[in-house]
Amino acid sequence: MNSSDLAFLTLVEARSLLERGEISSVELTRNEIDRITAFDGRLKAFITVLAESALEAAAAADARRRQGERQALLGVPVAVKDLFNTAGIRTTGGARVLADNVPTTDATVVRKLHDAGAVLLGKTNMMEFAYGYPHPDFGETRNPWALERTAGGSSGGSAAAVAAGLAYGALGSDTGGSIRSPASYCGIVGLKPSYGRVSRHGVLPLAWSLDHVGPLTRSVADASILFDVIAGFDVNDPASAQVERAPTSSSLDHAVAGLRVGIVDEMFERFVRPEVHDVAREAVAKLGQLGVHLESVTLPHLDLIAPVINPIVQAEAASYHRHTLEDRPNDFSDEVRDNLRLGATILAIDYLDAQRARRWILDGVADALTRFDVLLYPTQPIVAPILDSYSIQPGATDDVLDVEIGHTGLANLTGHPAVSLPAGFTVDGLPVGLQLIGRMFDEASILRLGRAFESATNWHRHHPALEP
């Protein structure tokens, strides 16, 4: 098996090779590190690469396997977004302000990865403090499918690393779509779990009432494995939910015939480019062939998603960063500094009104999910934007972030689980994502339907042709 074939195995396949003794973790890890060395100079998917410690961890994983250990991720090389605290390893948040920040403890999800035996390859690039704009010190991650385009924000580094075969899975965060958007643009799977399902302890916040943590992977089964590892109650996260759960991997291959799927027709029209619309509608037709019951559904207040989510993000982010902004304003990028200052002007009444409107949106989705098992529409109405599209241009009337949030922000406002699946490609060869939204704490259903769709289409088997 050559380097490329090895790199583009799914996490499940790589783990099976390890379990059968057909390859070692050291071999897998060295192959990934060699690819990072070859390709990441152009992609900018990583901020920090941990080549030496990763190989040491891989050797230790091989030794543990020889002794009979069988953890869920033993010896599998993965990456994490650079806003997850990592003990003894710098955590920058994609920001100059934290360029020398070295935490003393791991985020809860990082500890769970270590406990499961994962090998940490490095910390992935991201928008500054996850706020939608890249800091010039770190630059914008490029899309492996088209290097003149962005991988998306803010978990673009994690998405690009997985799509380019530089990691078998990665963790990201999602406040308005920052897992699902780059997953859609890079042609991979991105899961935003239910609010409170995965701990955010030790994760740099953007907006506490909207932040989620989840996996980005090449297949739905891979996402299920990573989710099962990181999910669970954590007393250190005040929003953590105590809910009973069975591993999603145990029901992944159950039949989907008879599932009721609500097609949100408005979200096939709002800002949706024709090439995206065509791919998404073909994906819906494929779902219909799987025996699911498809029916149109109308959700109220969809036009309010961006106007509601924006003041919440702005106010909560301004609250978190206010002291640093006062002390070191010039260390922020212009866009993030301006947004934080704008957030400081949000009136309490405006913030509370946004939270009230958020409840209207939540009630509409919850009501629809009493009649449907899953809601469906394109993850994003556009393909991956050209680099620098997130910069605010003088006189611009269209804001890429507002367009994106208008599609993915719904599940952040309501807290429902949502997954983006590779749905196909435009005639220009750019990936398109399909989004499934499920009931609270029912990640199993959207992953099960996603797995069935994936098996019927095999879009996840496509990968970009990269040159060093």
Q: Which two tokens stand for residue 219?
A: 């297949």
pLDDT-above-70 percentage for the chain: 98
Is residue 199 predicted with pLDDT exceeding 90? yes
Any idea which of 23-32, 74-83, 189-198, 386-395 has the lowest mean pLDDT? 386-395
Determine the pLDDT at residue 395.
46
Determine the pLDDT at residue 392.
58
- CA–CA separation, 396 vs 383, rounded Å? 19
Determine the pLDDT at residue 397.
47
Where in the sequence is the domain holding 258, given as residue range(s)? 3-461
Domain count, the chain: 1
Residue 411 lies in a domain: yes
Q: Which amino acid is located at 303 in the chain? A: D
Q: Summarize pLDDT for 3-55 with one digit per residue, the tens.
A: 999 999 999 999 999 999 999 999 999 999 999 999 999 999 999 999 999 99
Decide: 384 and 185 in contact? Cβ < 8 Å.
Answer: yes
CB-count burial class (<10 Å; 0-12, 13-18, 19+) for 254? exposed
What SS3 state is found at 375?
Answer: strand
Q: How many CB atoms lie within 10 A of CB 326?
A: 9
Torsion angles phi and psi, residue 435, rounded to 5: -105, 135
Determine the pLDDT at residue 401.
87
Question: Strand locations in 8-145, DSSP E?
Answer: 46-49, 77-81, 119-124, 142-143
Closest CA to 75 of 123, 9, 7, 121: 121
Confidence grade of residue 393 (pLDDT, cut at 50, 70, 90): low
Any idea which of 152-161, 225-234, 458-467 has the lowest mean pLDDT? 458-467
Residue 468 lies in a domain: no
Is residue 245 predicted with pLDDT exceeding 90? no
CB-count burial class (<10 Å; 0-12, 13-18, 19+) for 298? exposed
Is residue 204 predicted with pLDDT exceeding 80? yes
Decide: 401 and 290 in contact? Cβ < 8 Å.
Answer: no
> How far lies 175's CA from each of 49, 107, 153, 192, in Å?
25, 18, 10, 9
Q: Summarize pLDDT for 334-385 with one digit per residue, the tens.
A: 999 999 999 999 999 999 999 999 999 999 999 999 999 999 999 999 999 9
Residue 466 lies in a domain: no
Q: Is the peptide bond before 455 cis (omega within 30 degrees of 0)?
A: no
> How far lies 52's CA from each of 58, 146, 200, 311, in Å?
10, 30, 28, 43
CATH number, domain at 321?
3.90.1300.10
Determine the pLDDT at residue 399.
80
Q: Which two tokens stand for residue 218?
A: 């090449």
The DSSP H or E segment spanning 451 is: helix 443-457
- CA–CA separation, 383 vs 380, rounded Å? 7
Q: Summarize pLDDT for 277-312 with one digit per residue, the tens.
A: 999 999 999 999 999 999 999 999 999 999 999 999
Closest CA to 201 of 110, 319, 322, 89: 110
Residue 467 lies in a domain: no
What SS3 state is found at 125?
Answer: coil
Q: What average pLDDT does range 117-140 have in this prediction?
A: 96
- CA–CA separation, 37 vs 44, rounded Å? 11
Decide: 91 and 48 in contact? Cβ < 8 Å.
Answer: no
Determine the pLDDT at residue 293.
97
Residue 305 lies in a domain: yes
Mean pLDDT score across all residues of the chain: 96
Decide: 230 and 109 in contact? Cβ < 8 Å.
Answer: yes
Decide: 337 and 329 in contact? Cβ < 8 Å.
Answer: yes
pLDDT-above-90 percentage for the chain: 95
Q: Which amino acid is located at 320 in the chain? A: Y
Decide: 65 and 74 in contact? Cβ < 8 Å.
Answer: yes
Residue 319 lies in a domain: yes
Determine the pLDDT at residue 244.
84
Closest CA to 293 of 262, 254, 263, 260: 260
- CA–CA separation, 459 vs 434, rounded Å? 12
Is residue 315 predicted with pLDDT exceeding 70? yes
The DSSP H or E segment spanning 156 is: helix 156-163
Is residue 110 predicted with pLDDT exceeding 80? yes
Is residue 467 predicted with pLDDT exceeding 90? no
Decide: 60 and 53 in contact? Cβ < 8 Å.
Answer: no
Determine the pLDDT at residue 127.
97
Q: Which residues are catalytic?
A: 81, 154, 178
Q: What average pLDDT does range 160-177 have in this prediction?
A: 98
